[in-house]
Every structure is written in structure tokens, then in C-alpha cells.
Structure 1
Amino acid sequence: MRKLTKSRDNKMVSGVLAGIAEYFGFDPTILRIIYGAATLIGVGSPFILYIVLAIVIPEAPRTNRSENTGTYGFKPGNNRPEKKEPRKEAEKVKEEDWSDF
């Protein structure tokens, strides 16, 4: 069973609209456009509703993007770079005669 949670990956302010869009299975951009239009038109009070939802809807649980890697792909506690193979030598290019210029 899925739970309605704020998005951690696709958030602009607090992840409420992206979380709602992910829950119902559509693009968050569409919901953001509808929300922006509703705010400009003044239908109801979307700004207050957003604040209430930001308080009420829980954060999504943290998930590892890849095994034990941190934010930038480094493993925690391992600051040494991995050994890489030496670079290959570039092939020599035939020199052209540019003495005319």
C-alpha cells in the first residue's frame, strides 16, 4: 500500500506538489501549473492549503541511490581515489603545411 508523502527527489519548495503527483501517478509539472493558476485566480486559498499540507504530509523515507554511496558518489570513509588505468597515448596526426597563410 502506497502512502502519500512529500517527495525528496523532485521538490521545489517542500515537495508537497511533487509528492501528490507521484502518489496519483502523473507529472508534477502539471500539478504545479494548475496550482500556480489557482493561486493567481484566487480559487479558495491555495497558499494556506499548501502550508497545511506541508505540515501534515510526512517526509518520504530516505533511500540509497546506490550501494553505500554518499551524495556525490563517494563511499563514506573512503576518500582515496580508486586506481585507474594509465591514459593511452594519442596517435600522431599528419602535419599539414600551413606556410601559405
Structure 2
Amino acid sequence: MEKKLVRTESDKMIAGVCGGFAEYFDIDSTIVRLIFVLIGLLSFAIPIVLFYIISYFVIPQENDFR
């Protein structure tokens, strides 16, 4: 089965972006969320927030493919 990057429904806290990245890279979603927070703190949050918002609109929802 081909791996696709999607926003997950089952492992989401806000919009499912971090859960989708975690499923795609086959790692724990908590690690992805911690990475997002650390990058946000180190870069004064503006770039990571913009990346998250853009990812929300660009990455399709999980149910669109099932």
C-alpha cells in the first residue's frame, strides 16, 4: 500500500496535522508534537504556526481517501 500524508482523524488534538506526520514517518505523535513545540519556541513561533496553518489547508483529510 502506498503511503500518503493525510491529516488523521484518530490521532488529532487540533487539526490532525501532527498525527498525520507521525503516521507518515511511523513515529509516535507525541514526539512530533514536541518537535513542533520546540521549533516554535526556538523560532519565536511565527514560522511554525504558518507552516501548521498551511499544512492544514494543503494536506487532505484522512476520510477523503477511504
TM (normalized to structure 2)?
A: 0.86
| Structure 2 residue 32 is the aligned partner of structure 1 residue 21 | no
Higher share in helix: 2
Give the percent of matched residue pairs that are identical in Structure 1 and Structure 2: 35
Alignment RMSD: 1.6
Deviation at 1:3, TM superposition (A): 1.0
| Structure 1: segments with no counterpart, 5+ residues | 63-101
Q: Which runs of 4+ in 1 moved over 2 A?
A: none
Please name the residue that 1:48 is paired with: 50
Question: Which structure exhibits the higher relative contact order, with contacts defined as CA atoms closer than 8 Å and separated by 6 or more residues?
Answer: 2
Distance, in Å, in 1 between the alignment partners of 2:21 and 2:34 is 14
Match of 1:36 in 2: 37
| Runs of at least 5 residues in structure 2 that lack an aligned partner in the other structure | none
How many residues align structurally?
Answer: 62
Larger radius of gyration: 1
1:9-61, CA deviations, whole angstroms, 9 ceiling, x for partnerless residues? 01010000110110110000001001101101117710000000000000002
What is the CA deviation profile of residues 50-92 of structure 1, one whole-angstrom value per residue up to 9, with x for unaligned ones?
A: 0000000000027xxxxxxxxxxxxxxxxxxxxxxxxxxxxxx
Aligned residue for 1:85?
Answer: none
